[in-house]
Structure 1
Amino acid sequence: MNDFVIMLKNRKIIMLSFLSIMFLLLGLLLIILTWGENMIFPQVLGILIVLIFGFCLIYYVKVLVAKEPALVISNEGITDNSSYIGAGLVKWNEIENIDFFEMSGQLFLGIATYDRDLIINRMSGMKRIFNRMNKGLLNTQVNIAVKNLDCPIDELVEVINNRWQGAMEKNK
């Protein structure tokens, strides 16, 4: 069977890039307006805004240029590259449960692994820190925003169920 490849919605990434630019400009404006003043908090806040949204903008531009798949569902497992902290390949035999959940009004595809630290142990640097923060918020180790995927949810569910069942039958 061929791999099922899902891309990110370009329109969504362009919108997020635009929002990153707006916040980047807001942070720069905050720094410029408080420069030379004795206002430490607004300057620190401005620097943090510039750093965070600058990195976001770099990531979104990279995503737009690279045109790499967000999700690849294969006979081997699910490869998540849908965000900066994407889990990479999660093999079917590492997956305990797959479910959809809603958080802050947004639908997510959640993948729980048998080893709760599996994804964190694979990461390094900032990705490891962000994944560790996610671990405290959610019960699943891989969390994919469905609205960012350029695929109908019904088709996504069907492909995942078929590949997972096929892998489980093969391993019996």
Structure 2
Amino acid sequence: MNNRIKIPLSKKKIIILLVSAIVFITGGIWMIIEPGNARHFFNPINGRFFYLNPESIMLFGIIGILFFGAAVIYGVKKLFYKKVGLIIDSNGITDNSNASSIGLIEWNDISDIRVMQVMSTKFLLIDILNPEKYIGKAKNGVQAKLMKANMSIYQTPLSITSNTLKYDFGELEKLIRNEFKRNKNAR
């Protein structure tokens, strides 16, 4: 029997991410226009302000605009995306939820599922037996670089988060772990 679980993308979460990215772009523009006023940063670790030169501030502004500009482009594309965000069935996990998604991740290729948290964002790391197989599925050079960066940082190119899904992260973790156990033992 092939139970198919479909988890849609959350338009609400995508809009929140878009608005956040636009706020950061605005901050980047401010850093370029007024680098002298943007150079005082509070360091919460030691409780003091530190100062950067205007050239560094402008560089941070440019980097911020480029990064969050790409996030806006990606977010707008996802807002009008017609595919389901995540599909879980007897074949594996078909991920269409983020910029490094490559489609079907077969159960036979998965060796483990781990949870990682960076700041307040949790995500599932999908450990696989042959990472190069999945990096080779990259649709473009940017996606391949993202996957290679994940590989060097987390020892796997594949990660899944609920940031763009209509699903709670804890429930998503539980669901994927249960389906992994069930389908791994079925083969």
Q: TM-score, normalised by structure 1?
A: 0.79
Q: Could you tell me which residue of structure 1 aligns to residue 15 of structure 2?
A: 14
Q: Could you tell me which residue of structure 1 aligns to residue 6 of structure 2?
A: 5
Change (3 A) 1:48 1:70: same
Shift of 1:148: 4.2
Q: Could you tell me which residue of structure 2 aligns to residue 62 of structure 1?
A: 77
Q: Is 1:161 aligned with 2:178?
A: yes
Distance in 1 of aligned mates of 2:172 and 2:21: 31
Q: Could you tell me which residue of structure 1 aligns to residue 144 of structure 2?
A: 128
Q: Which range moved further: 10-19 or 148-157?
A: 148-157
**What amino acid is aligned across from residue 155 of structure 2 in structure 1?**
N
Shift of 1:140: 3.4
Change (3 A) 1:102 1:29: closer
Shift of 1:92: 1.6
Shift of 1:60: 0.8
1:93-149: CA deviation from partner (whole Å, max 9, x where unpaired): 211222434443433222111013332222231111111111122133321123543
Distance in 2 of aligned mates of 1:41 and 1:91: 45
How do 1:1-172 residues align onto structure 2 when only pairs under 5 Å count? Answer: 1-33=2-34, 40-123=55-138, 124-146=140-162, 148-152=164-168, 153-154=170-171, 157-158=174-175, 161-162=178-179, 165-166=182-183, 168-169=185-186, 171=187
Segments of structure 1 that go 5 or more residues without pairing to the other structure are: none
2:127/2:156 contact within 8 Å kept:
yes
1:8/1:148 contact within 8 Å kept:
yes
1:73/1:160 contact within 8 Å kept:
no
Q: State how many pairs are aligned.
A: 166
Segments of structure 2 that go 5 or more residues without pairing to the other structure are: 36-53
Secondary structure, counterpart of 2:101 in structure 1: coil
**What amino acid is aligned across from residue 21 of structure 1 in structure 2?**
I
2:124/2:173 contact within 8 Å kept:
no
Q: Which range moved further: 159-168 or 60-69?
A: 159-168
Change (3 A) 1:167 1:136: closer
Change (3 A) 1:30 1:97: same
Change (3 A) 1:95 1:8: same
Q: CA RMSD in A?
A: 2.6
2:14/2:75 contact within 8 Å kept:
yes
Identity of aligned residues (%): 28
